């Protein structure tokens, strides 16, 4: 059974009624079971922890989340930087500034430019990179991406890909070229909303995208990062679907590190405004619920979030932060002015400043924890 079967079962589930039926004593029972991380929480427990009733239990949830995170990861935050190498895209995602309808001068970096960008990022100490493109296989074909991976492998010990969904055999080519991890967000699990915000282009295929993490894991990537873009669908239902997707992958691919991200929509030119805001309190509740549900889950928090907010939530279960990010193509060294960013970076601190903040909070910033031999 693929995750599509499970996802389909929840398309008609009445999340609102179920969430509202949960009482404080149900939350307490779930917390008692999850205390110490000795008992595995079930799917219904995740619903309980995401419910409105659980909003009054954030303090005990935070204590347990902190203990579980320290037990499984130590007091560390891994650092990475995103590297956009192309902003060509044939999709019509209504929430993204890079969509095919937005008119701006598009760019694809040459191998020499990728080399310059990679060197500039590596000079900050970063050794884990996340490589991003839009979805335009004619502009960034497999051969281009393979060559790009080989350039980046000179500088980075871990190369994660956030590119368009591919077949398993294409992923194997990139894995052999040095990529070790895959990031792919479903954006929104609610199929009706998915259809509305992906009106045209290859991304309109919900099922092909949903099964991408499984193809990546089967292709040999050691880590797979998934998530939902908060702002598109009902945040609690989306947090639940992302959580059970992560649990499904953890069970189906026990050798693969699974992690979740919590991107919230931020302002971008040519994009719609978020329909469902996830407030800071909801963000924290989601992160805590995921940690209690999956104690070994990686949790990534990007520079979409403000510096002050990232500083406050460092103790609540996060394991990975981006730092010194640029979200425009060539933004580190090639084109440093007049470029179009996919979204606005809110935490604009340098890598050194983010690393200092991590140390000042009693954690160790980790630049490298992986090497491909």
Shorter beta-carbon distance to ligand SF4: residue 198 or 349: 198
| Residues contacting ligand SF4: total by CB under 6 A | 9
User: Considering the rule CB under 6 A, would residue 293 count as an interface residue with ligand SF4?
Assistant: no
Choose which of 45, 135, 214, 328 interacts with ligand SF4 (CB under 6 A). Answer: 135
Choose which of 50, 93, 278, 334 interacts with ligand SF4 (CB under 6 A). Answer: 93
User: Considering the rule CB under 6 A, would residue 99 count as an interface residue with ligand SF4?
Assistant: yes
Shorter beta-carbon distance to ligand SF4: residue 89 or 278: 89
Nearest to 205 by CA among 194, 190, 215, 214: 194
Shorter beta-carbon distance to ligand SF4: residue 203 or 291: 203
**DSSP SS3 for 26:** helix
Provide the minimum distance between the beta carbon of 316 and ligand SF4 in the complex, in angstroms, as a whole number.
Answer: 28
User: Considering the rule CB under 6 A, would residue 134 count as an interface residue with ligand SF4?
Assistant: yes
| Distance between CA atoms of residues 341 and 329, nearest Å | 7
Q: Which residues contact 14 (CB under 8 A, 6 or more apart)?
A: none
| Distance between CA atoms of residues 78 and 156, nearest Å | 14
Provide the minimum distance between the beta carbon of 134 and ligand SF4 in the complex, in angstroms, as a whole number.
Answer: 4
CA 40, distance to chain mean position in Å, is: 24
DSSP-H helix ranges across the chain = 3-9, 15-21, 24-34, 43-50, 58-73, 111-122, 142-152, 168-176, 191-197, 206-210, 212-219, 235-252, 280-293, 307-312, 351-360
Choose which of 49, 83, 96, 131 interacts with ligand SF4 (CB under 6 A). Answer: 96
Shorter beta-carbon distance to ligand SF4: residue 97 or 282: 97
Provide the minimum distance between the beta carbon of 201 and ligand SF4 in the complex, in angstroms, as a whole number.
Answer: 7
| Distance between CA atoms of residues 198 and 205, nearest Å | 9
Whether residue 265 contacts residue 302, with contact meaning beta carbons closer than 8 Å, is answered with: no
What is the contact mask toward ligand SF4 in residues 321 to 350, using x (rule: CB under 6 A)? ------------------------------
Stretch that binds ligand SF4, among 67-75, 88-96, 285-293, 324-332 (CB under 6 A): 88-96
Question: Burial letters for 117-145: b for 16+ Cβ neighbours within 10 Å, e otherwise?
Answer: bbebbbebbbbbbbbbbbbbbebbebebb
Choose which of 73, 84, 98, 293 interacts with ligand SF4 (CB under 6 A). Answer: 98
Q: Which of the 8 DSSP states describes residue 274?
A: P
Choose which of 127, 203, 215, 304 interacts with ligand SF4 (CB under 6 A). Answer: 203
Stretch that binds ligand SF4, among 24-32, 87-95, 231-239, 306-314 (CB under 6 A): 87-95
Shorter beta-carbon distance to ligand SF4: residue 98 or 293: 98
Choose which of 49, 77, 89, 184 interacts with ligand SF4 (CB under 6 A). Answer: 89
Task: Give the C-alpha distances (Å, rounded to integers) separating 34 from 46, 49, 73, 244.
Answer: 11, 11, 18, 17
Nearest to 236 by CA among 281, 179, 191: 281
Provide the minimum distance between the beta carbon of 277 and ligand SF4 in the complex, in angstroms, as a whole number.
Answer: 19
Task: For residue 177, count other CB atoms closer than 10 A to its CB.
Answer: 18
Residues near ligand SF4 (CB under 6 A): 89, 91, 93, 96, 98-99, 134-135, 203
């Amino acid at each position: 059974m693929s995750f599509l079967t499970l996802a389909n079962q929840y398309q008609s589930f009445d999340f609102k009624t179920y969430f509202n039926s949960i009482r404080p004593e149900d939350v307490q029972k779930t917390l008692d079971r999850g205390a110490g991380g000795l008992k595995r929480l079930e799917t219904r427990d995740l619903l309980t922890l995401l419910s409105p009733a659980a909003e009054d239990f954030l303090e005990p949830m935070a204590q347990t989340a902190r203990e579980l995170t320290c037990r499984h990861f130590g007091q560390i935050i891994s650092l990475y930087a995103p590297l956009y190498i192309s902003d060509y895209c044939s999709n019509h995602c209504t929430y993204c500034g890079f969509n095919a309808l937005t008119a701006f001068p598009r760019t694809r970096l040459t191998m020499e430019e990728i080399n310059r960008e990679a060197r500039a990022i590596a000079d900050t100490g970063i050794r884990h990179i996340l490589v991003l493109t839009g979805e335009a296989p004619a502009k960034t074909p497999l051969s281009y991406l393979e060559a790009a991976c080989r350039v980046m492998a000179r500088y980075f010990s871990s190369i994660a890909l956030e590119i368009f969904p591919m077949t398993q055999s294409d992923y194997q080519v990139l894995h052999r070229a040095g990529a070790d991890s895959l990031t792919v967000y479903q954006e929104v699990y609610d199929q009706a909303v998915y259809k509305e915000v992906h009106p045209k282009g290859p991304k309109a295929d919900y099922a092909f995208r949903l099964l991408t993490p499984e193809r990546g894991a089967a292709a040999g990537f050691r880590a797979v990062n998934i998530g939902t873009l908060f702002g598109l669908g009902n945040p609690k239902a989306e947090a639940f679907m992302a959580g059970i997707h992560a649990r499904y992958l953890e069970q189906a691919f026990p050798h693969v590190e699974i992690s979740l991200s919590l991107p919230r929509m931020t302002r971008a030119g040519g994009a719609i405004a978020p329909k469902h805001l996830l407030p800071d309190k909801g963000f924290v509740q989601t992160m805590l619920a995921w940690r209690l549900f999956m104690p070994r889950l990686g949790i990534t928090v990007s520079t979409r979030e403000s510096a002050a907010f990232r500083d406050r939530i460092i103790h609540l279960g996060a394991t990975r932060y981006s730092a010194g990010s640029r979200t425009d193509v060539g933004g580190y060294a090639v084109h440093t002015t007049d470029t179009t960013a996919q979204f606005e970076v809110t935490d604009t601190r340098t890598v050194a400043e983010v690393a200092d903040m991590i140390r000042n909070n009693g954690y160790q910033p980790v630049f490298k924890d992986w090497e491909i031999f």
